[in-house]
Homo-oligomer: A and B are copies of this chain.
Amino acid sequence: MIRAGIIGVTGYVGIEICRILHQHPQVKVTYVTTKTYVGDDIAAIYPHLQGIVFHKGAELNVDVIIQECDLIFISLPYGQAVKIVPLLLAAGKRVIDAGPDFRLKNPSDYVQWYKLESAPVELLNKAVYGLPEITNKDNIAKSNLIANPGCNSTAVLLATYPALKHKIIQPNECIFDVKVGLSGAGREPDTYKLYSEIAENIFAIQVAGLHRHTPEIEQELSLIAEEPILAQFSLHIVPITRGILVTACYKLKEPKSAHEIYTLYKRTYENEPFIRICRLGSSAKVKNVRGTNYCDISIHVDVRTQRLIVLSAIDNMIKGAAGQAVQNMNLMYQLPQTTGLDKFVAIYP
């Protein structure tokens, strides 16, 4: 059994990791920490886990974590994981960081976008960006430090990977219109997240290259394309709790039919259990992946404009965060990718 710890268990991502690990056959959660609810029953804070989770929230104590855990999931605001990770690695522990501290390979990118000192380069070099369908899986398996991708980045990259890798699209003409639900903004109370502000509303945030997932997306797209890429990424808040829908608009280099591209995507992802290519003519829908680790992808070609439209849908809390973290864990421990995740099927309606 893997002895797992969760740092920051009472955030939305932390509690999802906790829920998923409790249903995982190879994991025992041994230690969970919280800043706000030290000493409280987790099930009192999150009563959906009554009868299922019996932990109390502990204060963060690195010594205890090192003693109790083999693997540590970190779900903290940016800038905090970087303080803890060196201690954990030094003690021989393995770490999956759900935050952004180790995602950007170029320290100056981190400084520019997060206005904080970056993690040291040697640590960044150790960290593997863990998007299992795209990243080399052996690298994940061998790593002790996984930078779990951002939720928007996950949906954008999975939509783009086959087309970009197979060079059928113009790399610098990628336009990503992203719609995300509120859980992605976390549980800290802010006015803009209130039900009264969000219901019957839609709006953009940090549009026109201002959102922090921009450099992460561009870094990974550039790696796939093997050339520097600037992407147009526009993020919108929509009144749903969970889910991301990406509408990606690409320019085809040469005319291709939807069916050809459908086949390309099918083939590219044929061994990936969490990618589902939708039937031609149908649209990916967030409700179909809600509560699951799936990414649904649909393919559309405008024959008049020779643009390719790809829609990708994920649950931002699962494939976009906690589920992907567990998928990475499975790879790190040579378990089937799907262990503990394959029972999650969307409920409909």
Residues of A within 8 A of B (CB): 12, 15-16, 19, 22-23, 44, 46-52, 175, 177, 179, 181-183, 187, 189-191, 193-205, 207-209, 230, 232, 234, 236, 238-243, 245, 247, 249, 258, 276, 278-279, 282-291, 294, 296, 298, 300-305, 307, 309, 311, 313, 317-318, 343, 345-349
Contacts and interface: CB of A to CB of B under 8 A. Distances in A.
A57 to B, nearest CB: 15
Given A194-B194, A234-B309, A177 B247 contact: yes
Contacts of A348: 12, 15-16, 19, 46, 48-49
Contact of A288 (B47, B189, B230, B276): B47
A294 B48 CA distance: 10
Contact of A208 (B289, B309, B313): B309
Given A198-B195, A276-B50, A291-B291, A189 B190 contact: yes
B241 A349 contact: yes
A209 B44 contact: no
Given A194-B194, A195-B198, A203-B284, 12 more contacts: A12-B349, A16-B348, A48-B346, A48-B347, A50-B276, A52-B345, A201-B243, A208-B302, A208-B307, A209-B304, A232-B309, A241-B349
Contact of A202 (B203, B204, B238): B238
B203 A47 contact: no
Contacts of A309: 204, 207-208, 232, 234
Contacts of A208: 258, 300-302, 307, 309
19 contacts: A48-B347, A49-B345, A177-B234, A181-B196, A187-B349, A189-B191, A194-B194, A195-B197, A195-B198, A199-B240, A201-B287, A202-B240, A203-B311, A204-B283, A208-B301, A232-B249, A232-B305, A232-B307, A239-B239
Given A201-B285, A208-B302, A234-B249, A241 B196 contact: yes
Contact of A230 (B284, B298, B305): B305
A207 B305 CA distance: 12
Contact of A193 (B194, B242, B318): B194
Contacts of A279: 44, 47
A175 B245 contact: no
A22 B347 CA distance: 13
Contact of A196 (B22, B50, B187, B207): B187
Nearest to A36: B191
Nearest to A245: B202
Given A189-B194, A208-B301, A291-B291, A23 B343 contact: yes
